[in-house]
Amino acid sequence: MASETETDRAALAHEVCLALKTGCPGSRAELTGSLGSGTADAFSDIDIAWVVPDARFPDCLARTAGVLGGVRPVDSVRIDPDFYRSDRRRLLFVRFAGVPLFWRLDLDVRAASVADDPQYDVGNPAARARDDEWSRPASALANAIGAVKAVARKRDDEARGLLDRGFARIGEDDRAGGAWADDVARLARAAALRESSLSDLAAQVTALAAQHVGGTA
């Protein structure tokens, strides 16, 4: 039987899909990832594929934050730098206010003409963001949250890799040592020092690690 928390997450995902389809007529939105396959656990995020008409791709993208804000307040929207300038594809990372950090929405937006092409613009330099168009510290904090998930799932090697890449991404001369809560706290602190607007999120990530992990590898 699904827990109350899992039911709430599923309800949020359903509301998001409905809002996206309503907000962009002619589009379709469906759950993917572990929620879509029925294999989600307590730490799973929300993965949604949103396919929009080619002619409306720019307009639907521009309206995304407003559409999602109609479901519940949005704390932040980040764009995957690999597809930042793609003409027919985006990957958006959305944090809603007042929900667990684990419930990030990963919204894969594609124009209908490339909906069935998972390789579209993969590795295309013209589609990638410039260095000043994305936040390395915010990305490092996402790695920190991913590391908490990995440790909670008993995937220590995955957690170590996420943390090490997070430190490297922001130029911090540090590595994971296996005292997981401390490792996450150091990465969160280093990210916030580089981008002060992330201080509140960094504090939330540190608290998340203290709550869910704390052991040593």
pLDDT digits (tens, 9 = 90+) for 95-125: 999 999 999 999 999 999 999 999 999 999 9
- Fold adopted by 4-128: Beta Polymerase; domain 2 (3.30.460)
Per-residue pLDDT of 137-161, as tens digits, reads 999 999 999 999 999 999 999 999 9
Q: How confident is the model at residue 214 (pLDDT cuts 50, 70, 90)?
A: confident
User: pTM for the whole thing?
Assistant: 0.93
Indicate whether 1 pLDDT > 50. Answer: no
Domain ranges of the chain: 4-128, 135-212
For the segment 196-215, the average pLDDT, to the nearest whole number, is 93
Q: What is the pLDDT of residues 8-55, one digit of tens each?
A: 999 999 999 999 999 999 999 999 999 999 999 999 999 999 999 999
Cβ pair 164, 121 in contact under 8 A: no
- Among 124, 127, 120, 103, CA closest to 48: 103
Closest of 197, 172, 203 to residue 78, by C-alpha: 197
- Residue 159: C-alpha distances to residues 56, 88, 155 (Å): 39, 32, 6
DSSP state at residue 26? T
